[in-house]
Amino acid sequence: MPFSSLLKFPPIMLALSLFAVSAAHGGAEAEGSNPILRDTFTADPAPLVVGNRLYLYVGHDEARGNEMFTMREWLVYSTTDMKRWRKHGAIMNVKDFTWAKADAWASQVIRKNGRYWLYAAVEHDDSRPGKAIGVAVSDSPTGPFVDARGSALIANQDTPKGTHSWEDIDPTVLTDDDGTTWIAWGNRQAYIARLKPNMTEIDGPIKEITPPHFEEGPWLHKRGKLYYLTYASLDRATHSDERVSYATATSLDGPWTYRGELTGSAVNSFTIHPGIAKFRGKWYIFLHNGALTIGDLKGALGRRSVTVEHLRYNSDGTLKPVVQTTAGVTQPPPKD
Catalytic positions are 44, 216
Closest CB to ligand FUB among residues 159, 271: 271
Rule CB under 6 A: choose which of 32, 37, 44, 229 binds ligand FUB: 44
C-alpha span between 60 and 273 (Å, rounded): 14
Q: Which is nearer to ligand FUB, 69 or 119 (CB)?
A: 69
Least distance in angstroms from the C-beta of 11 to ligand FUB: 44
User: Number of residues in contact with ligand FUB, rule: CB under 6 A?
Assistant: 13
Amino acid at 110: I
Long-range contacts of 24-27 (CB under 8 A, 24+ apart): none
Tell me how far, at minimum, the Cβ of 310 lies from ligand FUB, in Å.
Answer: 22
Which has the closest alpha carbon to 39: 23, 18, 16, 51? 23
- Residues in region 103-122 near ligand FUB by CB under 6 A: 105-106, 121
Site string for ligand FUB, 68-107 (x = CB under 6 A): -x-----------------------------------xx-
Cβ burial of 234 (10 Å; 0-12, 13-18, 19+) is buried
Q: At its nearest, how many Å lie between ligand FUB and the CB of residue 60? A: 10
CA distance 21 to 24: 5
Distance in angstroms (rounded) separating the CA atoms of residues 227 and 184? 12
Closest CA to 203 of 150, 154, 165: 154
CA distances from 126 to 101, 153, 155, 156 (A): 8, 16, 11, 11
Cβ distance to ligand FUB smaller for residue 124 or 330: 124
First-residue to last-residue Cα distance in the chain: 42
59 near ligand FUB (CB under 6 A): yes
Q: What's the closest the beta carbon of residue 328 comes to ligand FUB, in angstroms?
A: 19
Query: Shortest distance, CB of residue 43 to ligand FUB, whole angstroms?
Result: 5
Residue 303 engages ligand FUB in binding (rule: CB under 6 A): no
Half-sphere exposure of 66 (CA within 13 A, CB side): 0
Q: Which of 171, 216, 230, 275 binds ligand FUB (CB under 6 A)?
A: 216
Nearest alpha carbon to residue 215 among 183, 239, 194, 250: 239
Say if strands 115-124 and 282-289 run parallel, antiparallel, or are unpaired.
unpaired
Contact between 259 and ligand FUB per CB under 6 A: no
Task: List the one residue from 273, 276, 290, 319 that touches ligand FUB (CB under 6 A).
Answer: 273
Q: Assess 43 for contact with ligand FUB (CB under 6 A).
A: yes
If one asks whether residue 290 binds ligand FUB (CB under 6 A), the answer comes out as no
- When binding is defined by CB under 6 A, the residue of 169, 190, 291, 319 that contacts ligand FUB is 169
Instruction: Report the interface residues with ligand FUB, using CB under 6 A.
Output: 43-44, 59, 69, 105-106, 121, 169-170, 216-217, 271, 273
